[in-house]
Structure 1
């Protein structure tokens, strides 16, 4: 859905290299009607709210940040941070290559710092132990998993199942950022579950409501080099917010597929 992007405001919530031809693409049904699934009782329904979540390490987006109480998070970015970026429809990891630009936010009436990356950055991560180079990733043909839908992702011969629940309040046709028409739904009490044949279904993320936004899968691939899927989701709760959540498999316990390790939320309201 196209929107006018206003200046940004940051707050943090309390919170290797094989050809992509070896990776199978996402399998999804063609329509919402064909993706209706029976409700499955998950083995672990209870997941704490994000209010107590703390990042395992910091992440940043290549964007503009407002200064808050004489502190600007953009200044924490260094050349030792890792840059997950896209080039020619493939993803790579490399050391952050960027410049900081000073600015002024007329809406907020305060100074800003803008991170100008030399690459098409998806996410900066303060995790220097990651290995540089091309990483395996899936081509994402369906980035929104609406309530009563289920998709299967196949990676290194393992099937990952993502299943969604929630209440659809309304549906409408919209033109997305790519200029294509799609169905957009107003959803509340959204829950997204993940499982594999070897791990029980667990609650991956949940949102009570959205304001002209929805959860989107931005990336599925092997960031941490353990031959298992990692995920990056955009989970904006409001149209004046940019919120990204990172899940890594190497940090997960044996009974889980992935673990939420970092989150960043940027407000750009007036």
Structure 2
């Protein structure tokens, strides 16, 4: 059986600089609560591709002109964040004893030793990195700048055993009685150095669902190429408390890049299920 190349170990500096979440690589999804997530092949299935718009081959989403800001906790290079960010006001998605909630939080952003770029760990005046912390003791999944559409509440989530969707496969789930499908398209070709492994290109990730009686197929992320990486589904749940599911993805296309991307349904246009509201890019090495 041929293996699809999706992830390799990043370099030691990436581990030292960034906090990364553990992922599972099981091949099946499981039922949890009222959510049934099912992995299946969509090769040859025409019904999923009706009424889809033409999409160019460039990376999507872009990081510019988004309505909100996104951050994570941890240590970052000097050009990846700034102390001025603390003045925007922030909400965090936190985990406490297996459950998620969103709440306002206070950030601190202080100088930190950058293990990649700085030379003298004992002279803080020469440090160029920034360390982002919150006022909460619970671990944060992602930080989102304040918006009138965000408020404190426990988040009903969709637990997933697998956090990526291989090319031409799908995952279905239900939320508040409505059915949704995350599905992908992409090209596969044998790797030149190992014919038993497959290289992914022209990868596109979509969400499908019904809104106001109309079926919507919406592109949520795409990239022409991956370098030892694949888009990851970090979170599905109602972040903005409007009764519809929201998403947090890692839309990385490179093993050395972390790119948490937040999609909210309350910002969506009438022909969308969710809308990209913010993302943050940081590298390790």
Deviation of the 1:80 alpha carbon: 3.3
CA distance in 2 between counterparts of 1:87 and 1:186 reads 38
How many angstroms does 1:73 deviate by?
2.5
Q: Does 1:90 align with 2:113?
A: no
Match of 2:21? none
Rounded to whole Å, the distance in 1 between the matches of 2:159 and 2:230 is 20
**Cα pair distance change 1:246/1:188, threshold 3 Å:** same
Aligned to 1:38: 45
Q: Offset of 1:111 from its aligned partner?
A: 1.1
What secondary structure is seen at the aligned counterpart in 2 of 1:43? coil
Aligned position for 2:141:
122
Inter-CA distance 41–119: structure 2 relative to 1 (3 Å threshold): same
Higher Rg: 2
Alignment correspondent of 1:181: none
1:151 aligns with 2:159: no
Within 2, Cα distance between the matches of 1:170 and 1:61? Answer: 36
The alignment status of 1:58 with 2:69, answered yes or no, reads yes
Q: How far apart are the structure 2 equivalents of 1:106 and 1:231?
A: 32
The answer to whether the aligner puts 1:202 opposite 2:211 as a matched pair is: no
In structure 2, C-alpha distance between the alignment counterparts of 1:214 and 1:74, rounded to whole Å: 31
Give the structure-1-normalised TM-score: 0.78
Could you say if the C-alpha distance between residues 46 and 263 of structure 1 is closer, same or farther in structure 2, counting changes exceeding 3 Å?
same
Query: SS where residue 164 of structure 2 aligns?
Result: coil
* Alpha-carbon separation, structure 2, partners of 1:166 and 1:28: 19
8 Å contact from structure 1 (residues 23, 137) kept in 2: no
Deviations along 1:134-161, one digit per CA (max 9) or x if unpaired, are 1111111221111110111100001011
- Residue 104 of structure 1 corresponds to which residue in structure 2? 113
Q: Report deviation, 1:222.
A: 0.3
Distance 1:255 1:72, change over 3 A: closer
Moved over 4 A (4+): 34-37, 47-52
Contact 2:229 2:252 (8 Å CA) reproduced = yes
Q: Over residues 232-261 of structure 1, what are the superposed CA-to-partner deviations in whole Å (9 max), with x where a residue is unaligned?
A: 101211111111111110111122111111
Equivalent residue pairs, number: 241
Residue 18 of structure 1 is matched in structure 2 by none
| Cα distance in structure 2, aligned partners of 1:73 and 1:170 | 43
Contact 2:86–2:108 (CA under 8 A) maintained in structure 1: no
RMSD over aligned Cα atoms: 2.8
TM-score, length of structure 2 as denominator length: 0.75
Match of 1:254 among 243, 253, 270: 270
TM-fit CA distance, 1:8: 5.0
Match of 1:80 in 2: 89
- In structure 2, the CA distance between the partners of 1:185 and 1:61, relative to structure 1 (3 Å rule), is farther
Contact 1:37/1:148 (8 A) holds in 2: no
Tell me if the contact between 1:222 and 1:229 (Cα under 8 Å) persists in the aligned partners.
yes
Contact 1:91 1:135 in 2 (8 A): yes
Cα gap change, 1:200 to 1:50, in 2 (>3 Å): closer
